[in-house]
Structure 1
Amino acid sequence: MAEITGDQRVQSEVLEGLATAVNHRRWFVELAVPHLGDDPIEIGSGLGDYALEWARHVPRFTATEADPDRLILLKERLVDEPTIEVREMLLPHPGGGDYSAAVSYNVLEHIEDHVGALRSMKDLVRPGGAVIIIVPAFQFAMGPADIATGHVRRYTKKTLGDAMTSAGLRVETMHYANALGLIGYFMATKVFRLMPKEGPMVKVYDTLVLPATKAAEQLVRPPFGQSVFAVARVPG
């Protein structure tokens, strides 16, 4: 089995900081909602911010976490959510399932055997269901912040598509998201060597820049972005 690598403390600090980027999270929540079905599972729920948002749109939701310490915090946070089940899961995972979809945001880049991880997600989903992925884009943006948070790669549409196809999935839709975010991330983390944590820079971007970026990208898909968003189907 592949283990999630990197400094868990730094990862937790970044998760806590990015939790304040409310507009960014709502945008990425909206991307997945049409594909979730009635009983999705999230791989790598972190602090549960996305799980809480998605659970409002479905009858049942399963949140998972591989890190034991974060799993405890996740269970504590979601204990009063009757429609959310919390379970431990590390990919690749040997078991199967009958979920309507598997959704995983900013997790695949941590896993050495990403094809095996995608294959595990496929096995968790019923035929015709979706595997919904967001990963960081473009290897040239790989820098100290990526390494500190355990990233082993960044993706293009082609490399993510190839991994999904190798895992036995049929790619349905794929596009870059948050074009201006890639420029900002590159400048902040590679030029100024900052970590993407809570602070004035994140708040200004999330409040002023991101809404305009989202509106523009709903009209025209950009040729690059901070993230790759993809939906693939389980054959059947």
Structure 2
Amino acid sequence: MAEITGDQRVQSEVLEGLATAVNHRRWFVELAVPHLGDNPIEIGSGLGDYALAWADHFPRFTATEADPDRLVALKERLAAQPNIEVRQMLLPHSERGDYSAVVSYNVLEHIEDHVGALASMRDLVRPGGTVVIIVPAFQFAMGPADIATGHVRRYTKKTLAAAMTEAGLTVEKIHYANALGLIGYFMATKVFRLMPKEGPMVKVYDTLVLPATKAAEQLVRPPFGQSVFAVARVPA
């Protein structure tokens, strides 16, 4: 089974830093909610920030993590949430399930066999359910921060759609998100070689820039973005 690559300490520091970007998380939570059905499972829950937000919308929610140490912390954090099950999961796998949807944010880019990982996600979902994905966009933005956190690749709409189709999924919705975030990320991580951790830059962007970006992109989909968002259907 393929484990997520990269420095676990650096990954944890980045996750902790990005946890402060509450407006960003709220936006990306909202993107997925209409597509998740009644019993979704998240692949790669990390610190559990998204799981906690999504679980408010559903009677049952399953959070998963591959890293054993992070899994222990995730179980401790979510122990008080009766509608959340926490379990370990590595991709690819041979398990089959009956979940209404799989949601996985910023995980696929860590996995060499991304088609196999998507096929594993597909097999966890009942026929007619969905696989909802967010991945980082555009290979030109691959820099030291990506490498340190274990990114194998970044995506375009075309490359993500091709991987999902090869995995036996039917892409129904795909678009870029957070256009200004791509510019900021490129400048911060590739030009100035900073890590996307907690700090004044993240807070200013999340408080002042992100709300305007979200409002604009709800009116007009941008031709580029920091992330690719996709919804694909499991064939009935």
TM-score by length of 1: 1.00
Q: Which residue number in structure 2 is paired with residue 120 of structure 1? A: 120
Whether 1:47 and 2:47 are equivalent positions in the alignment is yes
Tell me how far 1:108 sits from its aligned partner. 0.1
**Residue deviations 1:68-97 (CA, integer Å, cap 9, x gap):** 000000000000100000000000011100
Whether 1:230 and 2:230 are equivalent positions in the alignment is yes
Q: Which residue number in structure 2 is paired with residue 99 of structure 1? A: 99
**SS of residue matched to 1:229:** strand
Unaligned runs of 5+ in 1: none
Aligned partner of 2:57: which letter?
Answer: H
Aligned partner of 1:143: which letter?
Answer: G
Q: Which residue number in structure 1 is paired with residue 35 of structure 2? A: 35
**SS of residue matched to 1:176:** strand
What is the distance in 1 between the residues matched to 2:48 and 2:201?
23
Q: Report the aligned-residue RMSD.
A: 0.3
Whether 1:75 and 2:75 are equivalent positions in the alignment is yes
What is the distance in 2 between the residues matched to 1:45 and 1:4?
13
What is the distance in 2 between the residues matched to 1:95 and 1:221?
36
**SS of residue matched to 2:56:** helix
Q: Which residue number in structure 2 is paired with residue 25 of structure 1? A: 25
TM-score by length of 2: 1.00
What is the distance in 2 between the residues matched to 1:228 and 1:30?
15
What is the distance in 2 between the residues matched to 1:64 and 1:80?
16
Unaligned runs of 5+ in 2: none
What is the distance in 1 between the residues matched to 2:217 and 2:181?
12
Matching of residues 135-174 of structure 1 within 5 Å: 135-174=135-174
What is the distance in 1 between the residues matched to 2:142 and 2:68?
27
Q: Which residue number in structure 2 is paired with residue 6 of structure 1? A: 6
**Residue deviations 1:21-66 (CA, integer Å, cap 9, x gap):** 0000000000000001000000000000000000000010000000
What is the distance in 1 between the residues matched to 2:59 and 2:233?
21
Aligned partner of 1:100: which letter?
Answer: S
What is the distance in 2 between the residues matched to 1:28 and 1:219?
16
Q: Which residue number in structure 1 is paired with residue 57 of structure 2? A: 57
Q: Which residue number in structure 2 is paired with residue 215 of structure 1? A: 215
What is the distance in 1 between the residues matched to 2:168 and 2:109?
19
What is the distance in 2 between the residues matched to 1:38 and 1:55?
10
Aligned partner of 1:151: which letter?
Answer: H
What is the distance in 2 between the residues matched to 1:94 and 1:7?
27
Aligned partner of 2:33: which letter?
Answer: V
What is the distance in 1 between the residues matched to 2:125 and 2:216?
33
What is the distance in 2 between the residues matched to 1:2 and 1:155?
19
Aligned partner of 1:156: which letter?
Answer: T
Tell me how far 1:3 sits from its aligned partner. 1.5
What is the distance in 1 between the residues matched to 2:207 and 2:79?
31
Deviation above 6 Å: which 4+ runs of structure 1?
Answer: none
Q: Which residue number in structure 2 is paired with residue 16 of structure 1? A: 16
What is the distance in 2 between the residues matched to 1:43 and 1:92?
11
Aligned partner of 1:105: which letter?
Answer: Y
Aligned partner of 1:216: which letter?
Answer: A
What is the distance in 1 between the residues matched to 2:3 and 2:63?
18
What is the distance in 2 between the residues matched to 1:194 and 1:79?
34
Percent of residue pairs identical = 89
What is the distance in 1 between the residues matched to 2:125 and 2:49?
22
